[in-house]
Amino acid sequence: MTFLDLHAPANDLTRQLIDIPSVSGGEAAIADAVEAALAQCGHLEITRDGDAIVARTTLGRAERVIIAGHLDTVPIKNNVPSSRTRDGLGIIGRGATDMKGGVAVMLSLAAELVEPTRDITWVFYDHEEVEESKNGLGRLSRRHPELIAGDFAVLCEPTQAQIEGGCNGTIRMDIVLSGKAAHSARSWKGVNAIHAAAPVLAALAAYEPRTVEVDGLQYREGLNAVGVTGGIAGNVIPDECIITVNYRFAPSLTTDDAVQHVRDVLAASGVGEFSTVVTDRADACRPGLDALIALGFVDAVASTGAPEPRAKLGWTDVARFGALGIPAVNYGPGDPELAHADLEWCAINEIHQCRAGLAAWLTS
């Protein structure tokens, strides 16, 4: 088993982590190494569930924060073991950005912060890069909800060392339009369901997506048709047409609110009869940056020179915390646009910056 040196500089620790391959489903080796290294820290209470490890301080502090990151990566593309960029300022390798730089920051601080000012739950989990049902954080919250309880959560996914609060939610729903089938030679005997799609598409095309402010951050929404199916044969008036719609909504709405909003938009535009089937839904998450506990975090991160917090528009695992009623933000080293890229790399100064931001928060 690889021995991880948690007291090494966080950039060196990042390379140690990259050098243990951990493609989703193959996290056992890295989980063993993380568990063994944390077991050396007498101030942490450790629980392992599958290839997820939870390490907690139990100092009886008034507040508890959760700091989480996934151990798995997408498949390796000749980018393990790690290397340095030519200028020496970055680390290249699978997971450098998504998200072993963030995990290195977490491990380094987990070992160092023996007496943090808030109790900390460090969560290292498996199966983030694959289907939802396997997600290690989801499994932990089902099997050990008490281990995931807290007042505020930070997910160390790549954000270039800037706070990205909460995340938009997403729903996909089918708008089902019905007609009456007939031979196209006697089309007046039928009702054309594809023609009924025209006003729905017109309403969607005319819809102006909102930008919604939540806890001081601006969440830009989107409501779009992403698919159309219909038609039986070249000589049949179709009796059904389905328009698939994707709505990315701000954390001011629940998924039920979001479904209702789509129905309302269509109804208000005078579209005829339709039914809806929700095929996919994922909650949004509030950033919680108006909460007192978050203000200290925002200040600490600002002291590292990071720009103002911004909204997270894509869906991330912070929504799992949102679903538990725990406000959450993303904050980690690395450019999210490089996540999963063959040339994935992470700037070393962002690793140190994140470590400094979290350390300042957790010790003040």
CB of 70 to Zn ion, least distance (A): 6
3-state secondary structure of 257: helix
Pick between residue 23 and residue 302 the one whose CB is nearest to Zn ion.
23
Pick between residue 98 and residue 126 the one whose CB is nearest to Zn ion.
98
Give the count of residues interacting with Zn ion (CB under 5 A): 3
Catalytic-residue membership of 239? no
Pick between residue 94 and residue 286 the one whose CB is nearest to Zn ion.
94
Q: Across the chain, where does the E strand assignment appear?
A: 45-49, 52-56, 64-70, 83-84, 90-92, 119-125, 152-155, 164-165, 169-178, 182-183, 211-214, 217-220, 222-230, 236-237, 240-249, 275-282, 310-311, 328-330, 345-347
CB of 318 to Zn ion, least distance (A): 11
Distance separating alpha carbons of residues 88 and 347, to the nearest angstrom: 9
Binding mask 80-109 for Zn ion (x = CB under 5 A): ------------------xx----------
CB of 95 to Zn ion, least distance (A): 9
Pick between residue 98 and residue 221 the one whose CB is nearest to Zn ion.
98
| Mutual angle of helices 10-18 and 348-363, in 10-degree steps | 120
Closest residue by beta carbon to Zn ion? 98
Distance separating alpha carbons of residues 320 and 220, to the nearest angstrom: 20
The active-site residue out of 128, 157, 239, 350 is 128
CB of 65 to Zn ion, least distance (A): 20
Bridge partners of residue 329, in order along the sequence: 154, 165
The active-site residue out of 72, 215, 221, 350 is 72
Say whether residue 344 binds Zn ion (CB under 5 A).
no
Pairing of strands 119-125, 52-56: antiparallel
What is the chain's Cα-based Rg? 24
Pick between residue 103 and residue 223 the one whose CB is nearest to Zn ion.
103
Catalytic-residue membership of 128? yes
CB of 343 to Zn ion, least distance (A): 17
Specify the amino acid at residue 32. Answer: D
Residue in this structure with the two tokens 């869906």, named with its chain if needed: 315
- Name which of residues 322 to 341 contact Zn ion (CB under 5 A): none
Q: Which sequence positions are flagged as catalytic?
A: 72, 128
List residues binding Zn ion (CB under 5 A): 98-99, 157
